[in-house]
Chain A
Amino acid sequence: MSELAATARGVTKRFGRTLALDDVGIEVRAGESHALVGRNGAGKSTLVSVLTGMQVPDAGEVAFFGEPAPPVADRAAWRRHVACVYQRSTVVPELSVAENLFINRQDLGGGLISWKRLRREAAELLETYDVAVHPDALVSALTVEQRQLVEIARALSIGSRFVILDEPTAQLDGPAIERLFARMRSLQAKGVTFLFISHHLQEVYEVCQTVTVYRDARHVVTAPVAEMSKPALIEAMTGEAGGLNVPSGADRPSSAEAVLTVSALSGDAFSDVTLSAARGEVIGLAGSASSGKHEFAETVYGLRKPSGGAISVDGTAVRGGDVPSALKAGIGCVPRDRHHQGLVLDLSIAENATLSTAGAFVWPRAQRAAGATAIASYDVKAAGPDQPVSDLSGGNQQKVVMARALAGDPAVLVLINPTAGVDVKSKESLLGVVDAQARRGKAAIVVSDELDDLRVCDRVLVMFHGRVVREFARGWRDQELISAIEGMSAE
C-alpha cells in the first residue's frame, strides 16, 4: 500500500446546532488526485478548513504523511504540510507577483528585504513551475487562471506536497481548464498530491483517480474513479437513484409569436447580434469567456449600454442601458455572479426576493408573505423569510436570485450562468423552473457553458468573438457543441 499524504479519521464538527461533519474520514494516497464531491452543505468546505487547520474539529484527528497535524496556532507548520487554492483568491491584488509569492517572508531570511533578490527568486520559482507571468506584474492585472497558478506555485515553494483545489474550474473557460488539468497531471507525475473539489462531475473523471463522496455531513463512499459510473456517483451524492433529472422540454408546445426581438444589437465585446425568442421558447447561448455572450445578455437586461441596435418585448421598444426600463418591459434577469450582482447578503430572503418588485410601499407583512411564497415556490431550504441570505448555501442563494428575477412575472427571462456553483439537486430545481416558465408561454435565454443547462433549450446559439457563429437545434451532440464553443469550426 502506498503512503498516505493526508488522512482524517473520525472527524466531527458542529457549528451551533448544525452538524457540519459527522464522524467522517478521508484517506488521500500520496501522488494521486483525489476528488471530493457532494452537494452544497455536504461538509466539503468544513473538511477543507479542518484539513488546512483553519477549524479545529470537535473530535477526530488529522495526519499528514503519517505525522499528526501540527497545533492550530502554528500556521507556518500547516503551510508546509498542506496548501489550499480557494475559490476566493488569497493573494493581495495591489502587490506584485514576486511579493505575493514570498508574502510574509519577503526578506528570504535575511532580515532586510532585497527587492532584487526577491525578484530573481520569484522569476526562478515561476520558471520552475512554468508559469508565464512577470514577477513585477501586479496580481490585480492577472487573469483568474494566472492568479491560480501563482497561488499553486506559492504553495509548492513553501514545501507543501499536498494541494487542495477548491472548485478551481468554477471561473475558468474551457481551454484554461484543460491547461489546468495538464498542469495537475504533470505536477502529479512529480509527486504532488491533489484533493480536487468540483461540482462538475465530468472533471472528476478527467483528472482524478479516486473519488470520495460526502452527503449530509457524512462520508458515503470512497472508490476508484474507474469503478464508479456517473449515475452511481450522482446517486451517492443525492441518495436517490437515476442521475440528473432535468426536463428536456422536447414536449413543450411551440409558438411562432415572438416575445423578445433583438435586432442588430452591438455593445461591449459583441456586435450585430439579431435574435428573436418566441413564446415558450428557451434559447441557449454558449461560447467561451471572451465570446461576448455575457455582455450580450447583460445588455439585453440593461446592465450595459448598447452601441447600436434595438431590443423590444411584445413590440414595445426597451430603452438601452436602463434596468428599470427593461424590468418594466417585462425582462427578468439572473445576473452572472450572485455575490457580486445577485444578492444583498445581509438582507433577508424576503427582502432580496422582492428587491425588483414595483410599488412605492413595502409592507413588511406582505414582503414576508412574498418571501415565504418564494421559499415554497422555488424550494429554498431556509428557516424562514427573515433569514439573511448570507446563511444559505450556494444553491439556495441562487434560488432566491431566481425568485427575484421572476417576481414581476416577466415575459422574458435572461439567465446568466444560472447553475454556477450549485449542487445537482438545486440545479434540477432551477432548470425545472426555467422549463415551467416556458410552459407558461414565457421566453428564456440561458447563457451558460454547462451542457446540462443547455439541454433544457430548444436551440443553442454559439457565440465566438462577439458574433453568433453557429446554431444548434435540439438533439446536438456534446462533442460538436463543445468544438463550436472552442471556435474549432470557425477556424
Chain B
Amino acid sequence: MTKAMTPPVPAPTPPGKQKFQFARYQDLALVPVIVLLLVVGSVLSPIFLTSGNLIAVLTQQSELSLLVLGQAMILVVGKMDLSLESTVGLAPALAVALIIPASSGGLGVGLAAWLALPLCLLIGVVIGGLNGFLILKVGLSGFMVTLGMLTMLRGLQLAITEGKSLIDVPESFLYLGSTTWLGLPAAVWICIVCYAAGIFVLKYLRAGRSLYAIGGNSEAARAAGIRVDRVVWLVLVIGSVLAVVAGILMTGRLGSVAATQGEGMIFQVFAAAVIGGISLQGGKGTLFGALSGVLMLGLVEQILRLQGVSGFYIKASYGAVIILALIVTRFATGQKQE
C-alpha cells in the first residue's frame, strides 16, 4: 500500500508523545458513565453487582443490541431503517406460520421444521433487499420507504396470525433462546460475536471503512472508486438480517411470537445509537460507542426496576434518561447533534 506512493519520501517518524486528543477517544466517552451506573446500582441494591443480575441485564439488552448494531451501520452510511422493529416480529412469525399446522395458527403449508432458521434469515435478506431496491434503484426517500415498510410488515404479521400469538415455536428457536454456553446465554454470545465482527470489519476492512466514506461524502466515495450503491444495499440487508436474529432470540426466549413482537423498539434503537455517538447525519460514530449506548440504557432500566419504580413511571423515566443522556453526550463531545 505504501510502496506505491510516489515520489517516495521516507515517512517522518510519528512523534512519540502526542497531546491527548479527546476526539480519538470519543467512542470511550460512555465508559465512565457505565462505571458510574455500576457504582450507583451497587450502592442502591446489594444484588446489583451479582453475576446473575448483570447477566440478566445483558440478556435483556441482547436483542436491542443487535438492532442497534444494524441501525448503527445503516446510519453510518447515511441512511436509516425504521422497519427493523417490524422485521423482528414478522420474520419469525412468517417462518413459524409456514411450518406449524393450521390447527396451531399456521398457514397450512407445513414446511419441514429444520427450515425455520434458514427461512427466517432469508426473509430478512428479502426485506433488506427490497428496502435497498426502493431506496437505491427507484430513488425513494429512505425515511419514507422504511416508514411504509414498518407499517406494512406489522400489518402483514397481524394478517398472517390474525392478531394472535404463535406458541408452537420450533425447537431450534427455543434452543437459541434458552441455552447457555460456558455460563453465558447463547443470545449474549451471539451479540458478542456479532459486535466483535462488526467492530473488526468497520475498523480493519476496506469494505468497512468505505461505510464512513460513503456517509461522510458519497460523491467523494464514488470518485474514489467505492461502489456506493452496492455497499449501501449490503448494509441494509445486513441490518435486516440482524433484526431477524434479534427476532429469533426474542421468540426463543419468550417461547412464542407475539403479534406485537418488537413494537416500539425502534425508538430505543435510535436513542442507544445516538447516545453512543452515532451521527444521524452519517459518516460518524463507532460500533463500540453504539454498544456502550445499549449497555447504558440497560443499566439505567435495571436500576429503576430494582428500585421498584412503578411500571407506569418506568417508561417516563426511561424517556427522561434518554434526553438526559443526550444532553450529557452533547456537552461531553462538544458537538451539536442536529
Contacts and interface: CB of A to CB of B under 8 A. Distances in A.
A354 B1 contact: yes
A363 B15 CA distance: 19
Contacts of A323: 222-225
Interface centre among B21, B220, B222 (most CB of A within 10 A): B220
Contact of B220 (A342, A373, A384): A342
B316 interface: no
B223 A346 contact: no
A150 interface: no
Interface residues of B, number: 38
A316 to B, nearest CB: 17
B206 interface: yes
Contact of A408 (B4, B14, B21): B4
B207 interface: yes
A344 B6 contact: no
Contacts of A340: 217, 219-220
Contacts, number: 127
Contacts of A386: 21, 24
B5 A377 contact: yes
Contacts of B226: 324, 355
Nearest to A379: B9
A246 B209 CA distance: 37
Contacts of A326: 225
A364 interface: yes
Which of A333, A357, A437 has the largest count of B CB atoms less than 10 A from its CB?
A357
B289 interface: no
B294 to A, nearest CB: 24
Contacts of A267: none
A35 B7 CA distance: 37
Contact of B213 (A347, A376, A440): A347
Contacts of B8: 373, 377
A229 interface: no
Contacts of A283: none
Given A357-B1, A377-B5, A362 B216 contact: no
B5 A373 contact: yes
Nearest to B4: A409
A404 interface: yes
Nearest to A370: B2
Which 7 A-B residue pairs are closest in the complex by CB-CB distance?
A344-B216, A372-B11, A355-B224, A409-B4, A341-B223, A373-B11, A376-B9
Interface of B: 1-2, 4-12, 14-15, 18, 21, 24, 203-209, 212-213, 216-217, 219-227, 283-284
8 contacts: A344-B283, A354-B1, A355-B224, A363-B204, A375-B12, A386-B21, A403-B5, A436-B7
